[in-house]
Amino acid sequence: MARPDILKQVRARIEHAAPGDVFIPADFSDLAEARKITMCLSRLRGDGTLEKVKRGVYRKPRFRPLLDQPVPPREDAVAKAIARNYGWTIVPCGDTALNMLGLSTQIPAVWLYVSDGPYKTYETDGIIFQFKHTDRKNELIGVSETTALIIQALRAMGKETMDSQTISFLSSRLDAKERRQILQESRYVAAWIYEAIKEICGDSEA
């Protein structure tokens, strides 16, 4: 029986991924041991199939149409790859959460995340990623990305700055299923955040 061509399998998976997707060796752990995957990723970097973002993090190149110029990797994809590499659970917070939800058009100077891992800061291609440890595990573990993101956005805005316009904007981004899920998942957050979430979900009597 022929031995599997690991490099060919890794290459095929990357070819089927979207331009700009970000990878770590663990993403291919079903194909071979970490050492072999790392060697494959290094070879694929050498032939231009991948670009190195930082140690252990690679991305499939993405180019601007017509100009054929490279586009930097999506910041959130890089942050998630870093977190996968270390086994952290992360959620955008602060200005990053506000930007990702459309509550702010300002591009964050630092891409900030709360995490169940340690305090860490990384810089790649001039972009700074900061991971802040939090003990509020109920806002990270066992909740959907949407729920976690809204909780962090509300926390970033603060109780005093919440208004009907913000409530209406966030409500318009959710379907009925997401509203039920958020209400269920956010029951144990700070009381004022849960009250805001009930308004967003149109369930002030929940």
Per-residue pLDDT of the chain (206 residues; tens, 9 = 90+): 445 699 999 999 999 999 889 999 999 999 999 999 999 999 999 999 999 988 889 999 887 665 566 666 688 999 999 999 899 999 999 999 999 999 998 888 899 999 999 999 999 878 899 999 999 988 998 899 999 999 999 999 998 888 899 999 999 999 999 999 999 999 999 999 999 999 999 864 44
Report the Cα 158 to chain-centroid distance in Å: 22
Q: Compute how many other C-beta atoms are within 10 angstroms of the C-beta atom of residue 14.
A: 20
Instruction: Mark residue 60 as left, alpha or beta (left: phi above 0; alpha: psi -120 to 50; beta: remaining).
Output: beta
* Spatial CB neighbours of 66, under 8 Å, sequence gap ≥ 6: none
Which whole-number Å values give the CA distances from 140 to 91, 93, 124, 179, 185, in the listed order? 7, 11, 25, 18, 10
Domain ranges of the chain: 6-59, 75-200
Contact in structure between 131 and 90 (CB atoms under 8 Å): yes
Report how far residue 92's alpha carbon sits from residue 153's, in angstroms, rounded to the nearest whole number.
8
Residue 65, judged by CB atoms within 10 A of its CB (0-12, 13-18, 19+), counts as exposed
On whether the CB atoms of residues 95 and 85 are closer than 8 A, the answer is no
**DSSP, residue by residue, 50-103:** -EEEETTEEE---B-TTT--B-PPPHHHHHHHHHHHHT--EEE-HHHHHHHTTS
